[in-house]
Amino acid sequence: MVKINININNKAYSEEVGDNTLLVELLRDKLGLTGTHVGCDTSQCGACVIHVDGDSVKSCTVLAAQVHGKDLTTVEGLASDGQLHPIQKSFQNNHALQCGFCTPGLVMSAVDLLKKNSSPSEDEIREWFEGHICRCTGYKNIIKAVQEAITQ
């Protein structure tokens, strides 16, 4: 077991984790933060994307022990005071989800994109989502949602 201290959504956690526990397993199974999903478990689908020290990463491909001392944000940490984050709102406005399974990862990725590039072109948005798979939407409305969020 490894002892780690981490911050998740501005809350401090001190946890004992297995040496081979994945970060996404810690979040979902131990801490109950089930907004982060596991799709492929092979770092291809992007359903598990969260932020570690401000960068979007795939939490299925990080060991929990690796994030000792780091700041994490999961999809649960986006809304504040009962108000959805602008990206969440624009996903809702544009019907950018159907089954919703991939959505938490896409939303976290989109937040990271707009933090790094405040006015991405459509090509840049599509490139940024390369590591995400959505089987419902055909991506069209996801792109539209990000474009709407740019203007807000």
Residues that bind other proteins (CB under 8 A): 2, 19-20, 22, 41-43, 46, 49, 55-58, 61-63, 65-66, 68-69, 109, 112-113, 128, 130-132
Helix or strand holding residue 86 (H, E): helix 86-93
- CA 6 from chain centre, in angstroms, equals 17
When the beta carbons of 56 and 74 are compared against other proteins, the nearer one is 56
Cα(32)–Cα(24) distance, rounded to whole angstroms? 10
CB nearer to other proteins: pick between 50 and 97: 50
Q: What are phi and psi of 14, to 5 degrees?
A: -125, 115
Smallest distance from other proteins to CB 44, Å: 9
Cβ closer to other proteins: 29 or 95? Answer: 29
Q: Taking the complex as a whole, how short is the minimal distance between the CB of residue 22 and other proteins, in angstroms?
A: 8
Nearest to 150 by CA among 127, 121, 107, 108: 121
Q: Which residue from 78, 83, 60, 81 is spatially nearest to 115, judged by alpha carbons?
A: 78
Of 1 and 99, which CB lies nearer to other proteins in the complex structure? 1
Supply the minimum distance, in Å, between the C-beta of residue 10 and other proteins.
21
Minimum Å gap between C-beta 65 and other proteins is: 5
Residue 145 in tokens: 């949602």
